[in-house]
């Protein structure tokens, strides 16, 4: 094993000439084709943030490994997005392949519920994805919507177990971006527009997120976050306990309780990450996939959907971009994802006699039985007939073959309506749309997570690390894996092939309308499905059930790395 470097500088001062300027320009640009990069010593891909990806690559260049680079990237991403879609008090899910031992590990640093919340069904708020205006205006601000996030605990735990660089070094790019300022991207501009009234509600949030005259930041303008930089310095020096048992924790509890929440210092001080063994399942064409197991529910849904694709005969037939029958089948299969969010008695009523226990859902036999029930239309897909969740992804593979795939999120709509900020760190309102999920666990317990992050293996050897995010993360992961394993597409083609979104429900009737990126599907294919559909332009896709999927593949024979981002927004992939 390489010895740990001690003299580390991951700031942009260590980058090559002109690299910061080039990344800053890419930070405010939107892609129409996936980024692609190749190398042998290390690669990083992100759903958002070229500056963050380059910071992670610098960690690899200065002797760090995949964990160092992944955590450096994630820390930088939060500062670059002003804590709107992701937060230092958000959540983190990790699947890690340790090349030295050949073992795969999972880490859950997801939400804990609050011990004092004994009536979760009355937590204010809900999410209506029917329009951006509906998302912005739902519910009243309430501290009861705050949950205990494990992001910073996760960063520290992952580094302590597998990292190589000094812990404080991982924070250097994030501190630099917060202090020196970063250009506001088009997606951040949209966030500031959507939440301008909510950002003005509380003094610290208003002072940090709006200009002195109260106006919002716009694309290309520079946002400075000096208070956040100070907080990150303290965490870098003192560790995550500064946030979970120290002065910051006290301020957080006071802010949440001032808005009617029940969070206490005990909720924070007792939080810990959960290390576990991966759920490994065989899928198409000799591949197997390793994902997070219980209490993660996204991994179960991922495996179930891949098995349903085989049971339905999707493999080897026409692609869903060309066949209305295949497209409708794929939409029905991905609709089963909703079963992960329904009470057990409801699932039993919808699919009587089908075993939905975690052990059963990952078996081909379950998929075959389930497909018989849904092949003529899924009961969970109430398609309107004709005749946000927000997160970020990082995948890193280093020169030794270690793979780190992470998803992290604030799990609410852009800061959340409460828009609480504590010393520069944003506190979302994930409880505003998870009341029923919170009610299913005991107060203070871990909330099951929907993340679908994992590692793809062939003949037991890891060949691909992937991560997904967005409201349509399940649908995008389903398509990404099938494109690669079932249809044999190359990684770039997999990323650039037209994808369908998660459906949009009608709040009044519950009917679903299928969603697609504008101009990517032949309208004759969409019309022939026999269900209602709509297209979303680049600016509206975030609210149209869009999903993101990023991946890095490694040739087990040559060690060559190929990183690919998704084909929208300011995603990026870098390698050396």
First vs last C-alpha separation in the chain = 20
The total of structural domains in the chain comes to 1
pLDDT at 559: 95
pLDDT at 188: 86
Between 381 and 303, the higher pLDDT residue: 303
Phi, psi of 42 (to 5 degrees): 175, 150
**Sign (positive or negative) of CA dihedral 335, 337, 343, 344:** positive
Cα-trace Rg, the chain:
22
CB 451 within 8 A of CB 296: yes
Tell me: the pLDDT tens digits for 298-331? 999 999 999 999 999 998 889 999 999 999 999 9
Q: Rounded to whole angstroms, how far apart are CA atoms 67 and 160?
A: 10
CB 97 within 8 A of CB 405: no
Average pLDDT, the chain: 92
**Sign (positive or negative) of CA dihedral 135, 48, 93, 227:** negative
Asked, for residue 207, whether it belongs to a domain, the answer is: yes
| Whole-number Cα distances in Å, 370 to 341, 352, 377, 474, 476 | 17, 10, 11, 18, 21
CB 94 within 8 A of CB 396: no
Residue 377, Cβ density class (10 Å: 0-12 exposed, 13-18 middle, ≥19 buried): middle
Q: Is the pLDDT of residue 378 over 90?
A: no
Q: Is the pLDDT of residue 139 over 80?
A: no
Please confirm whether the linkage preceding 295 is cis (ω < 30° from 0): yes
Residues forming a β-bridge with 105 = 96
Q: Which of 430, 390, 341 is nearest to 546 (CA)?
A: 390
Q: Rounded to whole angstroms, how far apart are CA atoms 464 and 530?
A: 36
Contacts of 39 (CB under 8 A, 6+ apart): 560, 561, 575, 576
Asked, for residue 319, whether it belongs to a domain, the answer is: no
Q: pLDDT-based confidence at 4, cuts 50/70/90?
A: low
Element counts in the chain: helices (H) and strands (E): 22, 21
What angle, 0 to 180 degrees and rounded to 10, lies between the N-to-C axes of helices 324-335 and 473-481? 130
Asked, for residue 468, whether it belongs to a domain, the answer is: no
| Whole-number Cα distances in Å, 26 to 157, 320, 572 | 32, 32, 9
Q: What is the token pair recorded at 149?
A: 């996030």
CB 122 within 8 A of CB 145: no
Q: Is the pLDDT of residue 275 over 80?
A: yes
DSSP-assigned letters across all residues of 533-545? EEEE-TTTGGGTT
Q: Rounded to whole angstroms, how far apart are CA atoms 546 and 540?
A: 9
The conformation of residue 295, written as its DSSP 8-state character, comes to: T
Tell me: the pLDDT tens digits for 90-102? 999 999 999 999 9
pLDDT at 135: 60
In 3-state terms, the chain is what percent helix, strand and coil (to 5)?
40, 20, 40
Q: What is the token pair recorded at 136?
A: 């912005």
User: 474-513 burial, b for 16+ CB within 10 Å, e for fewer?
Assistant: bbbbbbbbbbbbbbebebbebbbbebbbbbbbeeeeebbb
pLDDT at 387: 45
In the chain, how long is the greatest CA-to-CA distance? Answer: 67
Q: Above pLDDT 70, what percent of the chain?
A: 96
Asked, for residue 249, whether it belongs to a domain, the answer is: yes
Phi, psi of 290 (to 5 degrees): -110, 120
CB 401 within 8 A of CB 465: no
CB 151 within 8 A of CB 408: yes
Q: Rounded to whole angstroms, how far apart are CA atoms 293 and 107?
A: 10
pLDDT at 210: 93
Asked, for residue 527, whether it belongs to a domain, the answer is: no
Q: Rounded to whole angstroms, how far apart are CA atoms 70 and 75?
A: 9
Category of 460 on φ-ψ map: left (φ > 0), alpha (ψ -120 to 50) or beta: left
Contacts of 332 (CB under 8 A, 6+ apart): 374, 375, 377, 378, 381
Q: Is the pLDDT of residue 1 over 50?
A: no
CA 229 distance to own-chain centroid: 24
Asked, for residue 517, whether it belongs to a domain, the answer is: no
pLDDT at 389: 47
Q: pLDDT-based confidence at 388, cuts 50/70/90?
A: very low
pLDDT at 131: 57
Note down the domain range covering 258.
Answer: 50-93+107-272+420-439
Q: pLDDT-based confidence at 137, cuts 50/70/90?
A: low
Q: Which of 433, 393, 439 is nearest to 416 (CA)?
A: 433
pLDDT at 128: 65
Q: What is the token pair recorded at 303?
A: 């495996």
Phi, psi of 100 (to 5 degrees): -65, -40
pLDDT at 385: 60
Q: Of the given ranges (158-172, 250-264, 436-450), which has the lowest mean pLDDT?
A: 436-450
State the DSSP H helix or E strand holding residue 405, giving kind and residue range, or none if neither: strand 403-409
∠ CA 158-427-68, nearest 5°, is 20
Tally of CB atoms within 10 A around 63: 16
Residues forming a β-bridge with 274 = 108
Category of 31 on φ-ψ map: left (φ > 0), alpha (ψ -120 to 50) or beta: beta
Between 363 and 2, the higher pLDDT residue: 363
Q: What is the token pair recorded at 550?
A: 């990023």
Tell me: the pLDDT tens digits for 244-263? 999 999 999 999 999 999 99
Asked, for residue 399, whether it belongs to a domain, the answer is: no
Q: Of the given ranges (14-23, 237-246, 501-510, 556-565), which has the lowest mean pLDDT?
A: 501-510
CA 246 distance to own-chain centroid: 28
Asked, for residue 453, whether it belongs to a domain, the answer is: no
Q: Rounded to whole angstroms, how far apart are CA atoms 15 and 554?
A: 25
């Amino acid at each position: 094993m390489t010895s740990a470097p001690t003299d580390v500088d991951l700031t942009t001062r260590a980058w090559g000439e002109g690299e910061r300027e080039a990344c800053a320009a890419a930070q405010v640009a939107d892609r129409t084709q996936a980024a692609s990069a190749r190398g042998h010593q290390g690669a990083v891909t992100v759903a958002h943030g070229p500056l963050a990806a380059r910071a992670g690559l610098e960690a690899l260049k200065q002797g760090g490994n995949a964990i160092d680079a992944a955590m450096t990237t994630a820390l930088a991403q939060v500062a670059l997005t002003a804590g709107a879609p992701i937060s230092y008090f958000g959540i983190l899910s990790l699947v890690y392949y340790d090349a030295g031992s050949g073992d795969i590990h999972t880490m859950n640093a997801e939400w804990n519920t609050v011990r004092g919340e004994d009536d979760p069904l009355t937590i204010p708020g809900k999410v209506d994805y029917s329009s951006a205006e509906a998302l912005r205006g739902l519910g009243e601000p309430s501290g009861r919507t705050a949950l205990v996030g494990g992001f910073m605990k996760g960063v520290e735990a992952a580094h302590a177990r597998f990292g190589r660089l000094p812990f404080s070094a991982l924070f250097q790019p994030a501190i630099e971006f917060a202090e020196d300022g970063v250009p506001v991207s088009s997606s951040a501009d949209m966030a500031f527009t959507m939440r301008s009234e909510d950002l003005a509600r509380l003094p610290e949030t208003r002072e940090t997120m709006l200009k002195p005259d109260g106006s919002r930041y716009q694309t290309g303008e520079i946002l400075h976050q000096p208070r956040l930089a100070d907080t990150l310095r303290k965490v870098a020096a003192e560790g995550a306990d500064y946030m979970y048992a120290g002065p910051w924790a006290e301020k957080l509890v006071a802010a949440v309780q001032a808005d009617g929440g029940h969070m206490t210092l005990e909720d924070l001080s007792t939080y810990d990450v959960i290390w576990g063994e991966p759920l490994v399942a065989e899928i198409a064409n000799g591949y197997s996939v390793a994902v997070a197991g219980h209490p993660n529910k996204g991994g179960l849904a991922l495996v179930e959907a891949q098995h349903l694709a085989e049971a339905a005969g999707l493999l080897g037939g026409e692609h869903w971009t060309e066949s209305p029958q295949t497209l409708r089948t794929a939409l029905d299969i991905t609709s089963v994802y909703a079963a992960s969010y329904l009470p057990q008695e409801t699932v039993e009523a919808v699919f009587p006699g089908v075993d939905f226990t975690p052990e059963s859902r990952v078996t081909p036999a379950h998929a075959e039985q389930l497909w018989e029930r849904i092949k003529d239309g899924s009961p969970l897909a109430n398609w309107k007939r004709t005749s946000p969740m927000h997160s970020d992804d990082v995948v890193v593979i280093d020169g030794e073959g270690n793979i780190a795939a992470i998803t992290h999120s604030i799990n609410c709509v852009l800061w959340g309506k409460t828009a609480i900020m504590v010393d520069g760190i944003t506190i979302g309102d994930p409880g505003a749309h998870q009341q029923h999920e919170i009610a299913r666990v005991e107060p203070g317990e871990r909330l099951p997570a929907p993340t679908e992050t994992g590692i793809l293996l062939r003949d037991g050897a890891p060949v691909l690390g992937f991560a997904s995010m967005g409201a349509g993360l399940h649908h995008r992961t389903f398509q990404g894996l099938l494109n690669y394993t079932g249809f044999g597409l190359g990684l770039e083609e997999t990323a650039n092939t037209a994808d369908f979104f998660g459906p949009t429900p009608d709040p009044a009737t519950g009917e679903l309308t299928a969603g697609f990126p504008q101009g990517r599907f032949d309208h004759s294919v969409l019309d022939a499905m026999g269900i209602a559909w709509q297209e979303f332009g680049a600016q509206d896709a975030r609210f149209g059930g869009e999903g993101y999927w990023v991946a890095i593949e490694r040739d087990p024979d040559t060690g060559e790395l190929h990183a690919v981002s998704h084909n929208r927004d300011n995603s990026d992939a870098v390698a050396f």
